[in-house]
Amino acid sequence: MQAEDDCSGRNSGERDNSLVSGGERATCGQSQNGEAPFRPPLSWKEPDFWDEEKLLSEMERIFDICHGCRRCLNLCDAFPTLFELVDGSGTMEMDGVAKRDYWKVVDTCYLCDRCYAIRCPFVPPHEWAVDFPQLMLRARAVRHRSRGVSFRERLLASPDGIGRLAAIPGVARIISAVVGRAAAHGRLHLPRESALPPFHRDTLRKRCRRLISPSAGIPEVDGGVVLFATCYGNFNAPDLGGDLIAVFEHNGIPVVLTETERCCGRLRLELGDLDAVARAKAVDIPVLAGWAERGWHIVAPLPSCVQMFRQWLPLMFPDDPQVQKVRNAIAEPFEYLVRQFEADKLRVDFKHPLGVVLLHLSCFSSERDVSSETRDILSLVPGTHVETMAGCIGAGGGCGSGSGRCDMPLAAGEHLLGRIRQVMPDHYGSGCPRAGRQIEMGLANGSRAEHPLTLLRLAYGI
């Protein structure tokens, strides 16, 4: 199946298709006692989950363990916030921290899962059973149910709703103007209004109508890819989806889009609106599972959305076999490409060197080390040197979209910006397009962040 020019153009049954190494790996946390990590599902159907007193008591217990440990100090803003609260308290222990201040920690966590996935030695089955991200999600859910969220948070956590409105002729400019005016007057309290991405009328799904396939009569394939465009990829960055399609088809990989696609609910998850997540899941999962059952892989360009299907939905719906099927079939683009390379199916007849590339590693990809897979594929291009940099730049999920309560300064990524200014690479960007945009806004020198897929397309000369 070939993409139309407007699609990839820059201007305008039980199949074993698992991409998850290790099969039923529910977690990759590091258990100190050597036992295989086991991550209990989110107990959101249990009454105790919603009990605020019990929640605060669990927060105190886990915060106290973290205060004694402090390994995650440099991962994000949540841990420095916690440790400053403890160190600034009268007792310099958790008992000196007011419970109302616990929410300051909650507001600076954007559920990237890195502390659990790569750092914490006290995850279950360790007797301390530390699962910091699940605790933060529980806190957000309890707060959402008891106090609700503001209009602004609900609005900005509905990117597909805004995107559909923006697709109506004449409305995109009105939305931009209204949001821009409200931001200018401080009514939306946007953390970085200038970083809010534009909404395109000419969405990816409109550009790629001929790739949209009905769910009835799905053909069996060996190596076909269903592109879950994501709200960002569809409304905000349609060129990125075009690059993905061009690169995949250049490598002989059939790409289709599903008949229906809804927001995966990532931003609603970060608001703690678990019922909205369940509603989104009820639309997306049956469709995607149908494709997975016929041997198709699922690829999505937003690492945080992939994490939603791979991590959070399985934790919320551990007994749903369709959720497990989608979990096993979904991947980030470079995960898929690296497997193509390992199977000797990736074209390496690159036409253009990329020179020096400075690549930011997405926090949401760290569990699966997708970032090094991205670096490895780009490094195949002759005349290319890829330098990678990790670090939270406050672009994650609700922080990057403005829907979250966090208000991290861009200065959190100053070291990264400084490195780019120092190296002056030929190209820079991030596996997370939102982070790339954030870096671009931080540099503010007229340069453009380029997604690794865009760079790969450039290298192929297609």
Binding residues (CB under 6 A) for ligand SF4: these are 65-66, 69-72, 75-76, 78-79, 109-115, 119-120, 122, 130, 132-133, 136
* 121/180 with CB nearer ligand SF4: 121
Please check whether residue 353 is in contact with residue 382, taking contact to mean a CB–CB distance below 8 angstroms. Answer: yes
Smallest gap from Cβ 312 to ligand SF4, in A, equals 11
| Strand runs labelled E in 237-342 | 255-258, 297-299, 330-331
Parallel, antiparallel, or unpaired for β 384-389 and 355-360?
Answer: parallel
Other CB atoms within a 10 A radius of the CB of residue 34 amount to 6
- Taking the complex as a whole, the smallest distance from the CB of residue 80 to ligand SF4 amounts, in Å, to 10
Of residues 128 and 379, the one with the C-beta less far from ligand SF4: 128
Instruction: Provide CB contacts within 8 A for 316, sequence distance 6+.
Output: 41, 42, 44, 274, 277, 278, 281
Neighbouring C-beta atoms of residue 417, cutoff 10 Å: 19
Reported residue count of the chain is 462
Comparing CB distances to ligand SF4, the nearer of 94 and 109 is 109
Least separation in angstroms between CB 227 and ligand SF4: 27
165, two tokens: 């409105």
User: Which of 14, 63, 78 lies closest to 270 in space, CA to CA?
Assistant: 78
The least distance separating ligand SF4 from the CB of residue 410, rounded to whole angstroms, comes to 16
> Quick one: 163 or 397, whose CB is closer to ligand SF4?
397
- Nearest-approach distance from CB 138 to ligand SF4, in angstroms: 13
Query: What is the Cα gyration radius of the chain?
Result: 22
CB 17 within 8 A of CB 224: no
**Alpha carbon distance 167, 171 (integer Å):** 7
> How far apart, in whole angstroms, are the C-alpha atoms of residue 96 and residue 85?
9
Closer Cβ to ligand SF4, 200 or 266, answer by number: 266
Minimum CB separation of residue 200 from ligand SF4 in Å reads 29
Greatest alpha-carbon span in the chain: 67
- The token pair at 112 is 């990237």
Q: Using the 8-state DSSP alphabet, how is residue 122 labeled?
A: B
CA atoms within 13 A on the CB side of 84: 8
> CB of 166: closest distance to ligand SF4 in angstroms?
29
In angstroms, rounded to a whole number, what is the distance separating the alpha carbons of residues 245 and 46?
43
In angstroms, give the least distance from the CB of 396 to ligand SF4. Answer: 7
Per the rule left: phi > 0, alpha: psi between -120 and 50, beta: everything else, 152 is alpha
Select 157 or 245, whichever has its Cβ closest to ligand SF4: 157
Considering the complex, state which of residue 126 and residue 457 has its C-beta at the smaller distance from ligand SF4. Answer: 126
Q: 443: how many CB neighbours lie within 10 A of its CB?
A: 16
Task: Report the nearest approach of ligand SF4 to the CB of residue 440 (Å).
Answer: 22
Select from 26, 102, 41, 47 the least CA-distant residue to 315.
Answer: 41
Cβ-based nearer residue to ligand SF4, 135 or 211? 135
Distance CA(368)–CA(333), nearest Å, equals 13
Q: How many CB atoms lie within 10 A of CB 379?
A: 14
Nearer to ligand SF4, 120 or 271 (CB): 120
CB of 388 to ligand SF4, least distance (A): 18
Identity of the residue, 135 or 246, whose beta carbon is nearer to ligand SF4 in the bound complex: 135
By C-beta, is 136 or 299 nearer to ligand SF4?
136
CB of 110 to ligand SF4, least distance (A): 5
